[in-house]
Amino acid sequence: MIMSKFLLNDMRRRSKPGKKVLVEKLPEIKEIEEEDSFKKSSTIRPKIKSRNLLWFAAFVSAIFCFFAFSFLFSSAEVAVNPRTEDVVLNENLSASRDSNGNSLSYNLVIIPGEESGTIQATGEGDVSEKAVGSVIIYNAFNTSPQTLSIDTRLEGSNGKIYKTQTKTVIPGASAKGTPGSVEVKIYASAPGPDYNSGPLDFSIIGFKGTPKYEKFYARSKGDISGGFSGKAPIISDEDKAALLANLNTSLQAKLLKRAMDQVPAGFVLFNGATFFDIGKTNISSIEKDGNTTLTLTGTLYGLLFSEEKLTKKIADDNIEDYDGSDIYIVKMKDLTFLLTNKDNISVEEAKNINFNLSGKTKIVLKLDVNKFIIDLLGRSKGDFNQTLAQYKNIDSATLRLSPPWRRSFPDKIKNIKVLVSYPQ
């Protein structure tokens, strides 16, 4: 019993100090944890604040760079509708040939050509053909030129008589005594093969009995041929006329295309301002197979106008406030051209002409794009309409600035683009 009490007291004595230590140590641990927590929170808060400031600065910098680059690469695009005037022309105009002044003028285009076609003989008949050839006539008489009339008779060394086809002027001899000479075509005085010959010498019958007879002479250039009499294939007048009509149409079309292809830039050749002159028709001898060739020659004359001068003259007559600025007429060459007194004048010899231009068209006023861009440089977007009002050749225009929030035009020419919608 005593032993039990002793053990119990001993256990109590041992247990009490343990509790005291435990109670005394707990506050110390708590204090340490609170101190560590405070230190950690004090360290984290500055880091978070610093990081937020960095993100904000980066965001502001990005916004600044975006706006800076957008203004650095800014641009403006202006779409322009030019002023146009619808007109119905019925203009009576005058022009002078090859004039260099400011008055209306024209140039004469001359384009010769030929067209050939083959035709088949359809029958047989009596045919008489005269031999033809060429001779060179010499003047060893003196230094003065000598005129020979058409059909001057020449006597060949074969005893046959031939005649010149055209009026001829033989140049005089040179100071050194070299005879003057000229080439001329001749034909036999009668049809038939007897006049066909190789090269011949000739004398001028009209000079016989005068000093000129020995000093004027001729020699044929090649053979004299084509003389024929007898039955031979022939072509009908109807077939000949039909072929010539086709050749005429074909030759005109070919010469007109050639003329149009040669029109220089800045000039206009109206369809109605071309005139065709039919030349000679040459018919070759009928071949053994009955075919013969017809060759038609002709010349096209065209009246060529300066497009700028003619357009400004028309605009001056039809636009009330026209100030002489650059313009053009839509499809100008399609206007109807009519030469006054066409049947009574020769376009080849005329120095002045009167004509009429008629048709429905548009007169378009051109814009000086470079000047317009310079006037826009650096200007406020609000001044755009005021700038447009200064240009009478602009009907309307739309503006697109990039970036959209930009309130003024760029200050560099390369950053402004002007697109003009010219009608065609």
For 138-167, write each residue's pLDDT tens digit.
Answer: 999 999 999 999 999 999 999 999 999 999
In a domain, 194, yes or no: yes
H/E stretch holding 129 reads strand 123-129
Q: Do 376 and 412 have their domain in common?
A: yes
Question: How far is the C-alpha of 372 from the C-alpha of 416, rounded, in Å?
Answer: 10
In Å, how far are 141, 205, 214, 215, 381 from 209, measured between CA atoms? 14, 9, 9, 12, 103
pLDDT confidence band for 123 (50 / 70 / 90) = confident
**Is pLDDT of 398 > 90?**
yes
Q: Do 106 and 171 have their domain in common?
A: no
pLDDT confidence band for 4 (50 / 70 / 90) = very low
Question: How far is the C-alpha of 291 from the C-alpha of 156, rounded, in Å?
Answer: 32
In a domain, 341, yes or no: yes
Q: Do 352 and 387 have their domain in common?
A: no
Q: What is the model's pLDDT at position 406?
A: 85
Q: Do 224 and 246 have their domain in common?
A: no
**Is pLDDT of 326 > 70?**
yes
- The burial of 139, by beta-carbon neighbours within 10 Å (0-12 exposed, 13-18 middle, 19 or more buried), is given as buried
pLDDT confidence band for 15 (50 / 70 / 90) = very low
Point out the domain boundary residue: 201, 231, 261. Answer: 231
Q: Do 242 and 338 have their domain in common?
A: yes
In Å, how far are 118, 275, 369 from 298, measured between CA atoms? 18, 11, 47
In Å, how far are 49, 339, 341, 343, 349 from 346, measured between CA atoms? 101, 11, 10, 8, 5
Backbone phi and psi for residue 174, each to the nearest 5 degrees, phi listed first? -75, 170
Torsion angle of alpha carbons 89, 360, 103, 301, nearest 10°?
-110
Structural domain for 222, as ranges: 125-231
Q: What is the model's pLDDT at position 24?
A: 45
- 415: helix, strand or coil: helix
In a domain, 7, yes or no: no
Q: What is the model's pLDDT at position 23?
A: 42
Helix then strand then coil, in percent of the chain rounded to 5, is 35, 40, 30
Q: What is the model's pLDDT at position 343?
A: 81
| Token pair belonging to 28 | 């110390």
**Is pLDDT of 12 > 80?**
no
Q: Do 288 and 346 have their domain in common?
A: yes
For residues 105-125, average pLDDT:
87
Q: Do 134 and 40 have their domain in common?
A: no
Q: Do 197 and 227 have their domain in common?
A: yes
In a domain, 387, yes or no: yes
Point out the domain boundary residue: 311, 343, 361. Answer: 361
Question: How far is the C-alpha of 364 from the C-alpha of 362, rounded, in Å?
Answer: 6
Q: What is the mean pLDDT of the chain?
A: 84
Q: What is the model's pLDDT at position 49?
A: 62
Check: CB of residue 82 under 8 Å from CB of residue 365.
yes
- The burial of 294, by beta-carbon neighbours within 10 Å (0-12 exposed, 13-18 middle, 19 or more buried), is given as buried
Question: How far is the C-alpha of 120 from the C-alpha of 104, rounded, in Å?
Answer: 51
**pLDDT digit string (tens) for 260-293?**
999 999 999 998 999 998 887 777 666 656 788 8
Instruction: Round to the nearest angstrom and report the end-to-end CA distance of the chain.
Output: 135
Q: What is the model's pLDDT at position 2?
A: 40
Question: How far is the C-alpha of 213 from the C-alpha of 210, rounded, in Å?
Answer: 6
In a domain, 276, yes or no: yes
Question: How far is the C-alpha of 301 from the C-alpha of 353, rounded, in Å?
Answer: 14
Q: Do 244 and 352 have their domain in common?
A: yes
In a domain, 316, yes or no: yes
| Token pair belonging to 194 | 């007897």
Q: Do 340 and 314 have their domain in common?
A: yes
**Is pLDDT of 5 > 60?**
no
Our count of domains for the chain comes to 4
Point out the domain boundary residue: 318, 334, 361. Answer: 361
pLDDT confidence band for 219 (50 / 70 / 90) = very high
In Å, how far are 152, 161, 217 from 206, measured between CA atoms? 8, 12, 12
**Is pLDDT of 213 > 90?**
yes
In a domain, 321, yes or no: yes
**Is pLDDT of 211 > 70?**
yes
For residues 205-232, average pLDDT:
91
Q: Do 378 and 241 have their domain in common?
A: no
Q: Do 341 and 243 have their domain in common?
A: yes
Strongest mean pLDDT among 13-27, 63-77, 285-299: 285-299
**Is pLDDT of 47 > 90?**
no
Q: Which residues contact 339 (CB under 8 A, 6 or more apart)?
A: 272, 273, 303, 345, 347, 353, 354, 355
Q: What is the model's pLDDT at position 17?
A: 46
Amino acid identity, position 101: G
Report the predicted TM-score, pTM, of the whole model to 2 decimal places: 0.59
In a domain, 11, yes or no: no
For residues 304-323, average pLDDT:
90
Which residues pair with residue 147 across a beta bridge?
169
Written as one string, the DSSP assignment of 306-374 is EHHHHHHHHHHHH-TT--S--EEETTGGGSEEEETTGGG--TTT-SEEEEEEEEEEEEEE---HHHHHH
pLDDT confidence band for 358 (50 / 70 / 90) = very high
Q: What is the model's pLDDT at position 26?
A: 45
